[in-house]
């Protein structure tokens, strides 16, 4: 292995013999293919193949850590293996740490030290004397730990609630012997057909849509905060990892994530700002520290946040309205929306639902502790997102079927504090009363939706646009996906909507942003589920019918 430094300098060696390198940040940034791309790190599992400095791929028998910054990469054999990679939010800092090694900075891995005021980056050779617990690297490690890792207690104490089978092995950083999954083919007849279909998608002037990846059953998406790996949930058994290695904004590789685990309806995926992936299943929540780095191999660090049966009472498990979504809140807690299983639930169910958060949103600490009900009166939310501006929680809600084509409206809601009731089942959507509850008094203080959407269009994933690629009018506003109706004589939906916000933080008028997946003759050629933003500000759209992810970009 070798480190290549812009300007031709080169250091040979693995791990303990590469020699510390000092690099100018200004020079380094010139080598970056795009802003934010400068750091990528992979933990290559035991026996994994790694690309060597001579361009060959070889298999290694021990764990290797590889850190890349722009065109620079450093690799080291780590023994014991690192359990994660941390970063300081918003900067270049990136570190490896070890299960026993938060106190050990000289751990057998290269480490990075960035001093932006001095315009320098140092890659430390861990074999050099003087890299001790009291040096600046230690301070940086501690800073990284306090900023990132300490919010993930699993690192310090991997013993999490009674895991089973492979989950237990992964939690103990043991291999499971699982084969590396075969990549999903990305070219061929299907890709060609979807590209043709995309020609009928209508977008505002200056925007274009392209096929980003073929991902079977693609539902909700979580874009990794570091390397931009897209993790994709499904309503089936798999989670997929989608990688665009060359950053040409088309995925190069799609494969099953964590193939040694069996998932049950792993629809909800979300990242903490420090790179911990959460997967919300029908009735379990899992945590994958440093998922963007471990995912290259079949075994990934994994822990249970809530074990099977602890998200809702097992008696309430249903096949209906059971696709979970999750987000990490500004308070660091995990928020999970829990659809209730009925069109309109019976009155006898309401007490249990209100206590457990079914038909609502629950939140909990990232270790699963202190689970509590955050919002009630929600029928089936399959899209939640915090406004990064004012920290309010926005969510879509799918409303009652069987009341005709045009009522009740779908909803986009805004939760401004804990404990709010959003009106269901007294209202079937908006302020349309349900037949079943029309004679029951509506609880005081019910919060009406910010936006009443087209009835039955099935509003699912939503996100706030925080990028700069799109024109000013889109910045800070909400993109949301409509899956399309089933309960309507003339189908509607299958499109991407945009809702700008008013200066006071409430919703302004919603408009259609992208449409055409529903043809003139009422046939769906795709059904959007979720929207997510890549680091370059482009918009990803998932489609579970076509089994694809599209990318919408502006300009260029």
Residues in touch with Ca ion (CB under 5 A): 244, 246, 248, 250, 252, 422-423
Instruction: Give least dist CB 424 to Ca ion, A.
Output: 5
Instruction: Give least dist CB 545 to Ca ion, A.
Output: 24
Residue in the structure block whose two tokens are 């471990």 = 294
Q: How far is CA 169 from CA 177, 261, 454, in A?
A: 10, 10, 48
Instruction: Give least dist CB 540 to Ca ion, A.
Output: 14
Query: What is the DSSP code (8-state) at residue 448?
Result: P
Residues β-bridged to residue 111: 124
Query: What is the DSSP code (8-state) at residue 63?
Result: -
CA distance 538 to 556: 11
* Residue among 18 and 335 whose Cβ is closer to Ca ion: 335
With CB atoms as reference, the residue minimizing the distance to Ca ion is 423
Instruction: Give least dist CB 216 to Ca ion, A.
Output: 19
* Residue among 21 and 399 whose Cβ is closer to Ca ion: 399
CA distance 193 to 112: 45
Instruction: Give least dist CB 253 to Ca ion, A.
Output: 9
Contact 407, 398 (CB under 8 A): no
- Structural tokens at position 404: 């005709």
Beta strands 420-421; 372-376: pairing state? parallel
- Structural tokens at position 116: 């932006």
Beta strands 239-243; 253-257: pairing state? antiparallel
Alpha helices in 72-131 (DSSP H): none
Instruction: Give least dist CB 161 to Ca ion, A.
Output: 34
Instruction: Give least dist CB 256 to Ca ion, A.
Output: 19
Residues β-bridged to residue 498: 479, 511
* Residue among 287 and 380 whose Cβ is closer to Ca ion: 380
CA distance 29 to 347: 61
Residues β-bridged to residue 287: 278, 303
């Amino acid at each position: 292995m070798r480190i290549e430094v812009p300007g031709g300098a080169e250091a040979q060696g693995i791990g303990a013999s590469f020699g510390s390198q000092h690099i100018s940040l200004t020079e380094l940034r010139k080598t970056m293919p795009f802003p934010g791309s400068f750091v990528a790190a992979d933990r290559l599992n035991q026996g994994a193949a790694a690309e060597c400095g001579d361009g060959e791929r070889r298999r290694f028998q021990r764990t290797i850590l590889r850190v890349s910054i722009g065109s620079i990469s450093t690799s080291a054999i780590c023994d014991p293996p690192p359990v994660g990679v941390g970063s300081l939010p918003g900067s270049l800092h990136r570190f490896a740490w070890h299960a026993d090694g938060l106190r050990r900075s000289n751990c057998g891995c290269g480490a990075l030290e960035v001093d932006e005021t001095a315009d320098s980056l140092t890659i430390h050779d861990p074999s050099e004397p003087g890299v001790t617990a009291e040096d600046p690297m230690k301070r940086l490690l501690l800073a990284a730990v306090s900023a990132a890792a300490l919010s993930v207690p699993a690192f310090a104490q991997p013993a999490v609630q009674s895991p089973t089978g492979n989950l237990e092995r992964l939690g103990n950083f043991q291999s499971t012997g699982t084969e590396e999954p075969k990549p999903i083919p990305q070219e061929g007849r299907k890709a060609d057909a979807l590209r043709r279909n995309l020609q009928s998608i209508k977008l505002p002037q200056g925007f274009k849509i392209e096929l980003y990846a073929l991902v079977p059953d693609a539902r909700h998406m979580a874009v990794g905060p570091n390397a931009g790996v897209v993790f994709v949930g499904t309503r089936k058994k798999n989670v997929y990892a989608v990688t665009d290695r060359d950053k040409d904004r088309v995925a190069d590789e799609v494969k099953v994530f964590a193939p040694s685990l069996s998932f049950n309806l792993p629809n909800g995926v979300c990242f903490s700002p420090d790179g911990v992936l959460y997967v919300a299943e029908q009735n379990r929540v899992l945590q994958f520290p440093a998922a963007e780095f471990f995912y290259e191999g079949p075994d990934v660090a994994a822990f249970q946040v809530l074990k099977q049966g602890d998200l809702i009472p097992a008696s309430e498990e249903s096949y209906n309205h059971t696709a979970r979504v999750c987000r990490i809140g500004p308070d660091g807690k995990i928020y999970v929306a829990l659809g209730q299983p009925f069109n309109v639930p019976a009155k006898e169910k309401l007490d249990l639902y209100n206590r457990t958060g079914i038909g609502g949103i629950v939140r909990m600490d990232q270790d699963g502790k202190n689970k509590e009900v955050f919002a009630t009166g929600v029928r089936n939310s399959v899209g939640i997102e915090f406004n990064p501006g004012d920290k309010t929680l926005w969510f879509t809600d799918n409303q009652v079927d069987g009341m005709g084509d045009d009522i009740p409206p779908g909803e986009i809601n805004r939760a401004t504090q804990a404990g709010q009731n959003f009106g269901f089942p007294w209202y079937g959507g908006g302020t349309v009363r349900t037949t079943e509850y029309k004679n029951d008094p509506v609880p005081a203080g019910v919060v009406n939706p910010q936006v009443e959407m087209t009835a039955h269009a099935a509003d699912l994933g939503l996100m706030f646009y925080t990028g700069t690629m799109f024109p000013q009018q889109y910045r800070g506003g909400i993109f949301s996906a409509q899956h399309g109706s089933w309960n309507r004589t003339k189908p509607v939906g299958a499109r991407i909507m945009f809702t700008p916000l008013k200066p006071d933080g409430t919703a302004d008028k919603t408009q259609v942003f992208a449409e055409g997946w529903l043809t003139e003759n009422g046939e769906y050629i795709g059904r959007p589920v979720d929207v997510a933003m890549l680091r370059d500000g482009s918009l990803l759209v998932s489609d579970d019918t076509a089994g694809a992810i599209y990318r919408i970009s502006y300009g260029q």
